[in-house]
Amino acid sequence: MMHPHTPGASRSTRRRIVGALTSATVLGLALAGCATGEGPSDEAASKRVTLVVHDSFPNDAFAEAASAATGYEVEVVSAGDGGELTNKLVLTKGAPIADAFFGVDTIFASRLVDNDVVEPYRPEAFPESAVDLAIADTDSDTTDAFSLTPVDRGATCFNIDTAWFAEQGLAEPTGFEDLADPAYRDLTVILDPTASSTGASLLVGTVAAFGEDGFADYWQRLVDNGARIEQGWTEAYNGQFTQGGGDGTKPIVLSYSSSPAFTVSDDGAATSTRALLDTCSSQVEYAGVLAGAANPEGARAVVDYLVSREFQETIPDTMYMYPVDAEAQIPEAWSTFAPLPDPGAAHDLPAAEIEAGREGWLRTLSEQIGL
């Protein structure tokens, strides 16, 4: 049974509750106030430009440097990883969440173009060395406009733990075929192409290498040879790889050609991993002006800045990719330990072909090996 309360006690409880309610309301109002305070006023709007990016982008540093360089007030918002960013841009077509975007890669590039999300543009001082990487605009009359402007590049390649192979007295694998060889049984970690863009890159690479009729057979051989399939790069590299910083036991992992630059010894003289440059497929990350942007002028200025020498040279250190501008300086560890594969050696497909084939390839894999 309940004991009668003393009036004093209940009043103090009430005070506490009322107090909590009041402070909550104040907090809520304060937060709402902050947010609306940050909203664009009409006079300032023409000087303000918004760039939407994927997760691994140096937002603050970029906003500061780009504002200084372009004279616009640059604001940066994050919208998830490459795939998520792409789909958000497609879903908000016509009323874009920003003026310009950066961070859509080879795998999703055509989806943006096909859905008419981008406004063709070619930056004024675009580095000649990168023209081949651009996705040309095929619709408009001006032949030199890009649908998507390339900003940085990298390559998805298998990485190996060199010391592990030396210790075991096993020859280091070199190409796709070795990974399916019983000599390298149970040593490899790959990524699920339906869950990770790195895994999707491998899918593209194997389609380029083995053809639309042969890639699924290769995946089957990989899996039969004990390849472990992880959902994301973190679980694969940091969780399973022997050099990944944890207790991993697998000496071969799907990662990037730049990864060996991050396993360099303290004195900078050697690295403990190596990328297998015969297993790579290229990734290019693109930027562009969004169709229907509130500030298209500013958006163009931001894209200009993304391909400027000043920004290009910060790319290795901030985004762990290579600049598209061949003249831009890259860190020494990169040129020594993490070279890009030769253009001829990478297993690549045109973006349009990837968009057209991807779903079918995934379905084939799903039917064949249950992915």
Partner 1 sequence: MLSLVATGFVADGRFDPSGIPEVFGQDRTWRVIGQTVLQAGCATVLSVLLGLPAAYVLYRLEFPGRALLRGFLTIPFVLPTVVVGVAFSALLGVGGPLEGLGLDRSFVGVVAALAFFNVTVVARTVGGFWARLDDRSVMAARVLGAGAIRAWCSVTLPALRPAIASAGALVFLFSSTSFGVVLILGGREFANVETEIYRLTVQFLDLRGAAVLSLAQFAIVGAALAVSARLRASGERAVELGAEPRREQRPGLRDLPVCLVFGATVLLLHALPIAALLARSLRTSDGAWTLEHYAALVDDASTLPIEGSVPAAIWLSLRIAAVAAALAMILGMIIALVLSRRPRSRVLQRGMHLFDGLVMLPLGVSAVTLGFGLLLTMHRPLGIGIDLRTSIVLIPIAQALVALPLVVRTLLPVLRGIDQRLRIAASSLGADPLTVLRTIDLPMLGRSAGLALGFAFAVSLGEFGATSFLVRPGEQTLPVVVAELIGHQAPGSYGAGLAGAVLLGALAAGVMLLADRLRTDQRGEF
Question: By CB under 8 A, what part of segment 77-96 binds partner 1?
Answer: 77-80, 83-84, 86-88, 90-92, 95
Residues 279-298 that bind partner 1 (CB under 8 A): none
CA angle 190, 191, 192 (to 5 degrees): 130
Report whether 91 contacts 319 (CB < 8 A). no
Residues 111-140 that bind partner 1 (CB under 8 A): 111
Is 16 a binding residue for partner 1 by CB under 8 A? The answer is yes
Stretch that binds partner 1, among 160-168, 215-223, 239-247, 339-347 (CB under 8 A): 239-247
Nearer to partner 1, 14 or 309 (CB): 14
Is 307 a binding residue for partner 1 by CB under 8 A? The answer is no
In angstroms, give the least distance from the CB of 236 to partner 1: 10
Member of 157, 280, 302, 371 binding partner 1 (CB under 8 A): 371
Residues 240-259 that bind partner 1 (CB under 8 A): 240, 243-250, 255-256, 258-259
CA angle 46, 47, 49 (to 5 degrees): 90
Is 168 a binding residue for partner 1 by CB under 8 A? The answer is no
With 0-12 CB in 10 A as exposed, 13-18 as middle and 19+ as buried, what is 243?
A: buried
In angstroms, give the least distance from the CB of 130 to partner 1: 23
In angstroms, give the least distance from the CB of 120 to partner 1: 22
CA angle 305, 341, 309 (to 5 degrees): 15
Is 28 a binding residue for partner 1 by CB under 8 A? The answer is yes
Is 370 a binding residue for partner 1 by CB under 8 A? The answer is yes
Is 269 a binding residue for partner 1 by CB under 8 A? The answer is no
- Category of 145 on φ-ψ map: left (φ > 0), alpha (ψ -120 to 50) or beta: beta
Structure tokens that stand for 67 in this block: 């504002």
H-run or E-run covering 230: strand 228-230
Structure tokens that stand for 91 in this block: 């879903």
**How far apart, in whole angstroms, are the C-alpha atoms of residue 250 and residue 164?**
9
Member of 19, 44, 55, 360 binding partner 1 (CB under 8 A): 55
